[in-house]
């Protein structure tokens, strides 16, 4: 099917290293300006910032960075200093890929911190709850099987999943979440993590779709970490190809590329003929729906999007990769 979508001149390791370097630069700037009021020891800080540049970091390092910046902006220096201390200590810890339960036991204080950032547009309300043990085990098996499928069908996407995510957190949806209901979530403010609602992605097949979907968001965040894809004001809302509510253009762009990538992957999977006839029929319907959603999204972006150079390049890849055909 030709070349993969979302190609870049940088390796995955270089993309992650660039993000960590910019984080370290920003931390150096914050400490230079506000260090004394945060109780920061310059030598301890610089050692931590060097480690951030040199080694992959846990998602909580990024989450506490954003919480620190918000606290400084609101004049909560003691809180900001506490977040900085977490960053300095966490930078010492090695991080490796794992599938974990979203629970107080696993995350401690980050149990409340992560959703504040993931769902900031909803005032930080938390639609996630811990999974029951049996569901966690079942969902973990689905994800492990799904990773094997992705590796077999498209090793490039598999490598992206393992390089861009260090943590996959399994959650359940809160019963009272209402319009806050969610299926999966990935945010640059919690870089390196993705969150799966085990009630929504309740099979091996659906777990594959989750991985491709959220890895595409993560890759877009990485590719565009120094330049946005669009410059439309965030209060301009448009019809989304994937959601019923109106979304800002940045969200429309992401959804369009997600649809293109899912279409791309599923067509490759269909070519391998790994599914039974009923499963193949279901996949063809699902894939064609995403192909049409990709076309719809491209139309909205082309008519209303104010694209940057990065945005134009990525949209052209979606249009020329032979996936946007319903």
Sequence spans of domains, the chain: 12-95, 96-225, 227-326
Q: Where are the alpha helices (DSSP H) in 154-234?
A: 155-164, 204-223
pLDDT of residue 55: 97
- Of 74, 90, 76, the closest CA to residue 20 belongs to 90
Kindly provide the b/e burial profile for residues 60-95, where b requires at least 16 CB atoms within 10 angstroms of the residue's own CB.
bbbbbbbbbbbbbeeeeeebbbbbbbbbbebbeeeb
For residues 296 and 241, is the Cβ–Cβ distance under 8 A?
Answer: yes
SS3 content of the chain, % helix, strand, coil (to 5): 65, 10, 30
| Average pLDDT of span 310-318 | 88
Band (pLDDT 50/70/90 cuts) for residue 1 is: very low
User: Is pLDDT above 60 for 187?
Assistant: yes
Write the DSSP string, 53-89: HHS---HHHHHHHHHHHHHHHTT-HHHHHHHHHHHHH
pLDDT of residue 7: 60
- Across all residues in the chain, what is the average pLDDT? 90
Q: 240-260, pLDDT tens digit by residue?
A: 887 778 899 999 999 999 999
Per-residue HEC secondary structure of 301-322 comes to: HHHHCCECHHHHHHHHHHHHCC
Do the beta carbons of residue 182 and residue 198 sit within 8 Å? no
Residue written as tokens 């403010």? Answer: 189
CB neighbours of residue 38 within 10 Å: 23
Q: What DSSP element (H or E) covers 196?
A: strand 193-197
3 state SS of 98: strand
User: How many C-alpha atoms does 304 have within 13 Å on its Cβ side?
Assistant: 19
pLDDT at residue 124 in the model: 59
Task: State mean pLDDT over 76-93.
Answer: 96
Q: Judge whether residue 180 has pLDDT over 70.
A: no
What does residue 227 show for φ and ψ, rounded to 5 degrees?
A: -155, 130
Within a 13 Å sphere around the CA of 143, how many CA atoms are in the beta-carbon half? 27
**Residues sharing a CB contact under 8 Å with residue 107, sequence separation 6 or more, in sequence order:** 114
Cα–Cα dist 220/37, whole Å: 36
Q: Which two tokens stand for residue 216?
A: 């595409």
Say yes or no to pLDDT of 160 above 80: yes
CB distance 252 to 301 below 8 Å: yes
CB 65 within 8 A of CB 26: yes
Least confident of 3-7, 132-136, 304-308: 3-7
């Amino acid at each position: 099917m030709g070349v993969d979508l979302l190609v870049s001149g940088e390796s995955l390791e270089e993309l992650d290293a660039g993000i960590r370097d910019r984080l370290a630069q920003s931390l150096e700037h914050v400490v230079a300006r506000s260090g004394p009021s945060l109780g920061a020891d310059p030598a301890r800080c610089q050692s931590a910032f060097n480690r951030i540049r040199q080694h992959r970091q846990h998602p909580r390092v990024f989450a506490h960075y954003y919480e620190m910046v918000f606290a400084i902006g609101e004049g909560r220096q003691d809180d900001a200093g506490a977040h900085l201390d977490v960053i300095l200590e966490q930078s010492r810890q090695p991080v490796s890929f794992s599938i974990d339960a979203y629970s107080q036991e696993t995350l401690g204080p980050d149990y409340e911190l992560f959703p504040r950032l993931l769902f900031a547009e909803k005032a930080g309300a938390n639609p996630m709850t811990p999974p029951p043990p049996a569901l966690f085990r079942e969902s973990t098996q689905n994800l492990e099987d799904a990773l094997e499928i992705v590796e077999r069908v498209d090793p490039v996407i598999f490598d992206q999943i393992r390089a861009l995510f260090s943590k996959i957190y399994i959650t359940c949806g809160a019963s009272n979440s209402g319009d806050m209901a969610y299926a999966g979530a990935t945010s640059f403010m919690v870089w390196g993590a993705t969150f799966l609602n085990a009630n929504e992605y309740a099979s091996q097949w659906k777990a594959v779709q989750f991985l491709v979907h959220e890895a595409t968001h993560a890759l877009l965040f990485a590719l565009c970490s120094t330049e946005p894809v669009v410059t439309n004001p965030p209060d301009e809302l448009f019809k989304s190809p994937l959601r019923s509510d109106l979304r800002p253009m940045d969200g429309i762009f992401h959804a369009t590329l997600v649809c293109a990538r899912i279409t791309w992957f599923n067509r490759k999977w269909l070519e391998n003929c790994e599914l039974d006839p009923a499963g193949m029929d279901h996949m063809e319907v699902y894939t064609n729906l995403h192909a049409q959603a990709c076309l719809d999204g491209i139309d909205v972006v082309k008519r209303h999007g104010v694209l940057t150079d990065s945005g134009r390049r990525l949209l052209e890849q979606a249009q020329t990769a032979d996936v946007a055909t319903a």
